[in-house]
Amino acid sequence: MTDTSHTGPVRVRYAPSPTGDPHVGNLRTALLNWVFARRTGGQFIVRIEDTDRERMLDGSLDRILGALEWLGLDWDEGPGKGGPFEPYVQSERKVLGKYAEAAQQLIENGHAYKCTCTPERLDQLRQRQRAEKKSTGYDSYCRNKSDEEREADRAQGLATVVRFKVPLEGEVVFNDVLRGPLTFDPSLLQDFVILKSDGYPTYHLAHIVDDHEMGITHVLRSEEWISSTPRHVMMYDGFGWEPPEFVHLSILLGPDRSKLSKRHGDTALLEFRDRGFLPETMFNFLSLLGWSAADDEEVMTREQIVAKFSLDGLNAAPSIFDITKLEWMNGVYLRQLPVETLSEMLLPELEAPDGLPESISRPIDRDYLTQLVPLVHERLKKIDREELSGMLAYFFQDSIELVPTEVVQKGMDEAATASALESAATALELAKSFEAEPLEVQFRALCVKLDLKPRQLFGALRVALTARKVAPPLFDTMVALGRDRSVARVRRAASLLLHGQPIS
């Protein structure tokens, strides 16, 4: 059994590339690293791996850091924070010569060599290998060049990369904390590039140099890295460094069981924020993908997750990102929010141009909103402007548009409904105490008097008051609407049924 019971302080890192929007799979990796660091009292480091200059995307870095902050994953060292191993951005570390020096060191101790093969040649090589159904990969053409040949290359000023010299025989073994010992045959690997012709290191070189220098103890990264880990292990050997512990996390899959990607719709973490999911939800939910607490609890605070975290709880099988459960969990967190907090959150959403209808003037009344929030609180799954607007607009509007047929309830006709509504309007006008409970008592009595079922009277009233078949509890709605508007709406509905149009 693999030892997974690390409790001493660890140094772990999240090392994103600023090549796009940070997506949920990515952040889940970050989150697990963070939790592990917090659990052990260690450090969580953020390092930016911007060595692929071609794929860099403007704004990506900001969004990555923004996503970390939104989730509450604070870093102990990294961009904007500094630390003993500054800088934490690889392009800046490159300027310092760190990677070129490391590559040079490997050349000097015989573990790497310069290669001048052109991309065209490599392309042709690959095509030929494919045509012959052989496995593709570099043929080590430059590996055994003589000193004279190398000198000639240099004199010509050919574009040069540095390749790692993969041992021709033996085997590479490393221990994966989750999966146990993994064995690879190096002869199947090719002499891979560690320093590109533009002077930037590849991921392989850069992350090893940095992980080593920064004292990283555990590498928690996604499963897709398993196949390149033997390269990394060989490099640690080449440098004579001790490799860290490897923990290859399962990847996230879409509902179609392929690797979760943009094709599956919204996968960018910040889109979940924009769609009304709470950071608490995302944190909790993401932590549960591929990990579980020993006690089977699922709804947990950040602190509880940290307290319960153990590498033992990690699952090596890939998990599918299930939005239905996410929505359920968001509802749980939404319901836990104090009314005032939720109200503050809802305010800007409702005031947004695509929130409440334009006809409703802004700003909306804060206190009134706070009064309304309890009516919709437990019905929310996420903070969705359209949904919210539908649930709340009629509280802010002077008049609502009724569909007469919706007012008429089962077992009633238009005339009966209109007359019942008239009685109700009068009752509302005369009600001594305009509060939910007394109103309910009074209206139940009215049902008896009119020989109607509560379902019938209340249903008609609900539509009359809100223009919706589904709405919050009726008498709370009346109270929130106030006596005048309630009476007016009920009267108007009655009139509409009777005359086909309201008499104003």
Please give the positions annotated as active site.
262
Shortest Å, Cβ 185 to RNA = 6
Give me the residue label for tokens 């973490």. 269
Nearer to RNA, 135 or 504 (CB): 135
DSSP H helices, 20-170, are 24-40, 60-71, 90-95, 98-108, 119-131, 147-156
Shortest Å, Cβ 192 to RNA = 6
The rounded distance, in Å, linking the Cα atoms of 167 and 186 is 6
User: Would the CA dihedral through 270, 272, 277, 279 be positive or negative?
Assistant: negative
Q: Tell me the C-alpha to C-alpha distance, in Å, between residue 29 and each of 225, 287, 296, 311, 340.
A: 12, 9, 21, 13, 33
Beta-bridge mates of residue 46: 14
Nearer to RNA, 395 or 475 (CB): 475
**Which residues does 158 contact at the CB level (< 8 Å), separation at least 6?**
116
The residue among 4, 2, 23 whose CA lies nearest residue 262 is 23
Nearer to RNA, 90 or 498 (CB): 90
Three-state SS for 194?
A: strand
The residue among 81, 68, 80 whose CA lies nearest residue 14 is 68
Are 484 and 412 spatial neighbours (Cβ–Cβ below 8 Å)? no
Shortest Å, Cβ 288 to RNA = 5
Shortest Å, Cβ 127 to RNA = 11
Are 164 and 238 spatial neighbours (Cβ–Cβ below 8 Å)? yes
Nearer to RNA, 479 or 498 (CB): 479
Shortest Å, Cβ 141 to RNA = 12
Nearer to RNA, 485 or 498 (CB): 485
- Give me the phi and psi of 188, to 5 degrees please: -85, -15
Shortest Å, Cβ 117 to RNA = 6
* Omega before residue 87 within 30° of 0, cis: yes
The residue among 263, 286, 284 whose CA lies nearest residue 24 is 286
Nearer to RNA, 174 or 498 (CB): 174
Shortest Å, Cβ 210 to RNA = 11
Nearer to RNA, 19 or 304 (CB): 19
The rounded distance, in Å, linking the Cα atoms of 303 and 307 is 6
Shortest Å, Cβ 353 to RNA = 27
Shortest Å, Cβ 396 to RNA = 19
The residue among 372, 366, 371 whose CA lies nearest residue 347 is 366
**Which residues does 173 contact at the CB level (< 8 Å), separation at least 6?**
181, 182, 183, 184
Are 256 and 265 spatial neighbours (Cβ–Cβ below 8 Å)? no
Residue 124, CA atoms < 13 Å, CB-side half-sphere: 4
Tokens encoding 103 = 């590559």
The rounded distance, in Å, linking the Cα atoms of 488 and 206 is 72
* Angle formed by the axes of helices 366-376 and 474-481, nearest 10°: 170
Are 48 and 272 spatial neighbours (Cβ–Cβ below 8 Å)? no
Amino acid letter, 294: A
Three-state SS for 229?
A: helix
Nearer to RNA, 382 or 502 (CB): 382
